[in-house]
Amino acid sequence: MNNGTIRLDPTGFPMIWVSEIGLYVHGLPVTKMQFEHFLCDATDGHFDSRWYDEILRLNPRVAARRIWSGNYWNAFLSGILPAEAERFASWCGPGYRLLRTSEWHRLYRALEKQSTTLAETELLADLAPHHRELIVQVERAVEETCTQTGDRCHMTERTLMRLGVIEWTALEGPNPNLWAGLGEPHPSFCGNLFFPAEKHLIQPANAETRRLASFGFRLAFDPVSVQENQ
């Protein structure tokens, strides 16, 4: 899957190089901790404290040291609209964007057979202590979840493509909708019977205006597009 190349995003969280899609991808869905960097920096009135209160009402915050298998999804930013996720991506800089649906599926296929841990992928190297603590705690909670159910704990689970949030992805081709969700959240976070391995897209009604507690996102970084623009 990756050749050990890790890149940090502007908030200091790690992205993994995935050769199958030629992109760096966030190792986990975007966390509240990451998004708070953006909120501190946001200059327009949209992302104000009232906005964040609404987000936290849908999915409350949790401190890294209090994360366990019954609440780890609280660490991630969810309830976000696709356009807001795009704003975060553009704040991150050129080359950052949401994954496309086909990229997400290829990423899933690339990760699903890998049984390595996040530490083995060097994802945790060179991280700030509080970032590292959060990722380690989340991985531990996911391992515990898998042990409880007898589920596998491969990279798809450790990176929370399963058991995390539903991730906004950009739809390609002729489709009346621009966005679709992919993933399989933890049943306690959002009851579901989704099949991330199959090409089943979750297309909620009024996706661009209606906040759904279980929808989050992860970003990709495309180094080629940055070089081309330079």
Partner 1 sequence: MWKFVRTLLGIKDPEPPPPIIPLLRRPELPPLWSSLELFSEPKHGKTSFLWALSYMARNLSLFWPKYACWPQDAAMDTSFRSMLGAFEQREIPGETTALTRLGLSLRGMARWGDRRLFVEDDRDPVFGVSEGTATSSREVNWGVPICWLLSLPDLGPEIAQVVDLQLDNLIRARMRSARSFEAQPLRLVIALTKADRIPGLPPDLRNYLKVDPLAKIVESQSAFLGEEGQPARPALLFDERSVLAYLEALGGIHQRLAAWLATTLPGSLLAHRADAHHITLRFCLTSATGSDLRSNGHLAIPWRPRRVLDPLFWALELGCR
The count of residues interacting with partner 1 (CB under 8 A) is: 24
Nearest Cα neighbor of 57 from 49, 68, 46, 69 is 49
| Cβ closest to partner 1, residue 142 vs residue 212 | 212
How many residues would you count in the chain? 230
DSSP state of 160: T
Q: What's the closest the beta carbon of residue 215 comes to partner 1, in angstroms?
A: 9
- Integer Cα distance of 76 and 138 in angstroms: 10
Please give the residues from 3 up to 62 whose contact with partner 1 meets the rule CB under 8 A: none
* Span 100-159, contacts to partner 1 by CB under 8 A: 148-152
What is the footprint of partner 1 within residues 158-177 (CB under 8 A)? Answer: 166
**Shortest approach of partner 1 to residue 141 CB, angstroms?**
13
| 209: exposed, middle or buried (Cβ count in 10 Å: 0-12, 13-18, 19+) | exposed
Site string for partner 1, 201-230 (x = CB under 8 A): -xxxxx---xxx-x----------------
Q: How far apart are CA 224 and CA 95, in angstroms?
A: 8
Q: Of 26 and 186, which has the nearer Cβ to partner 1?
A: 186
- For position 191 contacting partner 1 by CB under 8 A, the verdict is yes
**Among 60-68, 125-133, 186-194, 217-225, the segment contacting partner 1 (CB under 8 A):** 186-194
d(CA 23, CA 196): 20
The DSSP output letter for 11 is T
Residue listed under structure tokens 């199958």? 20
Q: Contact 167/94 with Cβ under 8 angstroms?
A: no
Residue among 66 and 210 whose Cβ is closer to partner 1: 210
In the complex, the residues that contact partner 1 under the rule CB under 8 A are 148-152, 166, 186-188, 190-195, 202-206, 210-212, 214
